Amino acid sequence: MKPIYQILPLSIREIIQSLPRTILGSLEEIRIRQNRPLEVITSEQSWFVSCNRQLNTTPKDSVLPSREECAKLLNLLSNHSLYAMEEELRRGYITIEGGHRVGLAGKVVMEQGRVKHLRDVTGFNIRIAREVKGVGEELLPILFGHNQNLHNVLIVSPPQCGKTTLLRDLARLISLGDEKKYPSKKIGIVDERSEIAGCVGGVPQHDVGPRTDILDGCPKAEGMMMMIRSMSPDVMIVDEIGRLEDLYAMHEAIHAGVKVISTAHGHTWEEVSRRAELGDLLKQGIFDRVILLSRRRGPGTIEAIYNGSGKRMTYPSEWATYA
What confidence tens digit (pLDDT) does each residue in 260-313 have?
999 999 998 888 888 877 888 888 888 999 999 998 888 889 999 998 888 888
| Sign of the alpha-carbon torsion through 311, 316, 318, 319 | negative
Question: What is the DSSP pairing of strand 153-157 with strand 212-216?
Answer: unpaired
What pLDDT does 94 receive?
85
Task: Please tell me the distance from the alpha carbon of residue 295 to that of residue 305, in angstroms, as a whole number.
Answer: 16
Rounded to two decimals, the pTM is 0.81
> Which of 113 and 122 is assigned the larger pLDDT?
122
What pLDDT does 320 receive?
44
Local structure of 65: helix, strand or coil: coil
Question: How high does pLDDT run on average in the chain?
Answer: 89
> Which of 126 and 315 is assigned the larger pLDDT?
126
Beta-sheet strands, E only, within 174-219: 187-191, 212-216
- The pLDDT-based confidence of 129 (bands split at 50, 70, 90) is confident
| 231, β-bridge pairs | none
Nearest by Cα to 133 from 292, 266, 315, 300: 300
Residue 190 has pLDDT above 70, yes or no: yes
Q: Are 175 and 302 in contact (CB under 8 A)?
A: no
What pLDDT does 235 receive?
97
The H or E element that residue 301 is part of is strand 301-307
What pLDDT does 261 receive?
97
- The pLDDT-based confidence of 83 (bands split at 50, 70, 90) is low
- The arithmetic mean of pLDDT across residues 229-245, rounded, is 92
Q: Are 134 and 166 in contact (CB under 8 A)?
A: no
Beta-sheet strands, E only, within 62-171: 93-95, 101-111, 114-127, 153-157
Task: Please tell me the distance from the alpha carbon of residue 43 to that of residue 78, in angstroms, as a whole number.
Answer: 28
Percent of the chain surpassing pLDDT 70: 96
Q: Which amino acid is at 262?
A: S
For the chain, give the longest Cα–Cα distance.
62
Task: Please tell me the distance from the alpha carbon of residue 257 to that of residue 51, in angstroms, as a whole number.
Answer: 58
Residue 126 has pLDDT above 60, yes or no: yes
Task: Please tell me the distance from the alpha carbon of residue 293 to that of residue 27, in angstroms, as a whole number.
Answer: 20
What pLDDT does 237 receive?
97
Residue 226 has pLDDT above 50, yes or no: yes
* C-beta atoms surrounding 68 within 10 Å: 11
Residue 316 has pLDDT above 70, yes or no: no
The H or E element that residue 11 is part of is helix 10-17
> Which of 13 and 314 is assigned the larger pLDDT?
13
What pLDDT does 78 receive?
82
Q: Which amino acid is at 70?
A: C
What pLDDT does 315 receive?
60
Residue 272 C-beta-side C-alpha neighbours within 13 Å: 25
The H or E element that residue 6 is part of is helix 2-7
Residue 99 has pLDDT above 70, yes or no: yes
